[in-house]
Chains A and B, each alone.
Chain A
């Protein structure tokens, strides 16, 4: 087994462990933090897949920047959407 193959197998083991972790966490009484934990683990899995399986660790900065731009777009959208929907009940509607 070459070093490259060993790395890929280790990443797969890590991904399966994260899957077990997120499944287990979904049974814990975490309340409002449950989606944060589960989606957070999803981001960790996606990061492993992008970095190792999708070769981001070996490509140039330009390609990394393009891949990262997708994530940044989503984060901006989530932040702006949340600033609306998560704050609506903070103030009562004016009469």
Chain B
């Protein structure tokens, strides 16, 4: 098995094939950008139409857990970026170790998010919560429901990312994805992981910092 990858048909050379791989992934990522971009633009309109109510609803969100989760996700992106770099250098064990850390940090993020959701349920903020309803105005409820859908859709994407990176870790550890020949596979999974991070980078100021 040589370190120089062979190009598959119809590509003339490996560099061209890698370019096509990355281009295809980027086109998919742009559709994700449009999905979340459209959603967050709707939140922007809610904040313009109901500035006071959006701000009072945002004060019910847990700013510190939200900030901690931002730090966790940014750190997971560093782990992913290091895994990509090491996969290019053909360091198999180090690559799977950093991929493993990426998965762990993703799970930590989801655990913290679950604690937040539970706190919000206990506080009566969720649509199905019993008892007192601290959010009485329509604008407040609208903002909070947008928060639930936005963070929920993000958590779904992160769950898919965790499954992808877990599978990749196993494949790299078992040499089913030979490195550095197939480093582009790690790169492409990495692109998805980083995009989910970028989405959170916008969810954080638009919801948590709207106080």
Contact = CB atoms under 8 A, between A and B. Distances in A.
Interface of A: 2, 4-5, 8-9, 11-12, 15-16, 19, 22-23, 26, 34-35, 38-39, 41-42, 45-46, 49-50, 52-55, 59-60, 62-63, 66-67, 69-71, 73-74, 77-78, 81, 85-86
B48 interface: yes
B186 to A, nearest CB: 12
B8 to A, nearest CB: 19
A26 B211 contact: yes
B162 interface: no
A65 to B, nearest CB: 10
Interface residues of B, number: 44
B77 A53 contact: yes
Contacts of A86: 48
A15 B71 CA distance: 9
A13 to B, nearest CB: 9
B74 A16 contact: yes
16 contacts: A8-B82, A9-B78, A12-B74, A15-B74, A16-B71, A22-B209, A26-B63, A26-B209, A39-B202, A39-B206, A42-B201, A45-B74, A67-B30, A78-B41, A81-B45, A85-B45
A85 B48 contact: yes
Contacts of A38: 205, 209
B80 to A, nearest CB: 7
A46 B70 CA distance: 13
Contact of A23 (B48, B67, B202, B206): B67
Given A16-B71, A42-B204, A81-B41, A74 B85 contact: no
Contacts of A22: 204-205, 209
B205 A39 contact: yes
Contacts of B205: 22, 26, 35, 38-39, 41-42
